[in-house]
Amino acid sequence: MSAAVPQPAVPHLAVTDLVAGYVPDVPILRGASLRVDDGEIVAVLGPNGAGKSTLVKAVAGLVPARSGDILVRGESIRGLATHKLVGTGVAYVPQVGNVFTRLSVEENLELGGLGAPAKMRQRIAEMYALFPDLARFRRLAAGRLSGGQRQMVAVARALMAEPHLLMLDEPSAGLSPKMVELVFQKLLEIRSNAVSILLVEQNAKAALAICDRGYVLAEGRERFEGSGHDLLASPEVGALYLGSTTRLAS
């Protein structure tokens, strides 16, 4: 009897030939594809206008997908309403407007845990363990926090639903270098708790330093794919970002 042929693992997220945009017949994504495997941090990079944010917004159901497909563990979620995304084990943290500024830190977290009220207190305690600053500011309105602290509130609120895949759009935008380092360190901790991460980032060096793989988009399609190390060392990727043959790692 011949041995069974191992079957390839089903990607946690698979985006295939995705065409999407805000206006009919004006696509931003023009056949973009990527995958996120279990336990991976995958970065999506590219110059302004490449379609990075459009990609995660299309996965989240915020931008209409005209063609192609979006699979979570092999099941299509293309066209799924955004409010049903959490039921698939996927959470999304947008770049802006990602906290309720007039609510306290703890009230923001409670909103994230409404789907599982019996576990809410346990999950809040876990979020305070992951983000100790939030415990200190639990009664403070989220709008009074620094940009980095608000980003942590947004990520913690998304994690309250116990997602298996966390998508973030430009989490380092507007943050100080020290806070960027802290946020990316927290992403590594989150991944260690069996959460896969899809990360859209303008800070290519920081993202590639922590990711397992990366995709570089240009004109709505993936131009390069590789490990974080390989993309950091690639003169072609450096040229796309810097207009020269300089490596990002230099």
Residue 3 domain-assigned (yes or no):
no
Confidence at residue 158, expressed as pLDDT on a 0 to 100 scale? 96
Residues 21, 80, single domain; the answer is yes
- Same domain for 156 and 178, yes or no, is no
Characterize the bridge pairing of strands 165-169 and 41-45: unpaired
Q: Say if 208 falls within a structural domain.
A: yes
CATH number at residue 236: 3.40.50.300
Question: How does pLDDT run across 207-243, given as a tens digit for each residue?
Answer: 999 999 999 999 999 999 999 999 988 888 877 765 5
Residues 180, 219 within the same domain = yes
Q: Are 187 and 213 in contact (CB under 8 A)?
A: no
Domain tally for the chain? 2
- Which strands, in side-by-side order, build the sheet including 196-200? 90-93, 165-169, 196-200, 41-45, 213-218, 221-227
Give the range of the structural domain holding residue 120, as residue numbers without chain letter. 97-162
Contact 105, 145 (CB under 8 A): yes
Residue 1 placed within a domain:
no
- 31 and 85, same structural domain? yes
**In this predicted model, what pLDDT tens digit does every residue of 120-157 receive, in sequence order?**
999 999 999 999 999 999 999 999 999 999 999 999 99
Domain termination residue (choose one: 162, 182, 213): 162
pLDDT at 246: 57
Q: Are residues 240 and 145 in the same domain?
A: no
Say if residue 56 is in the same domain as residue 42: yes
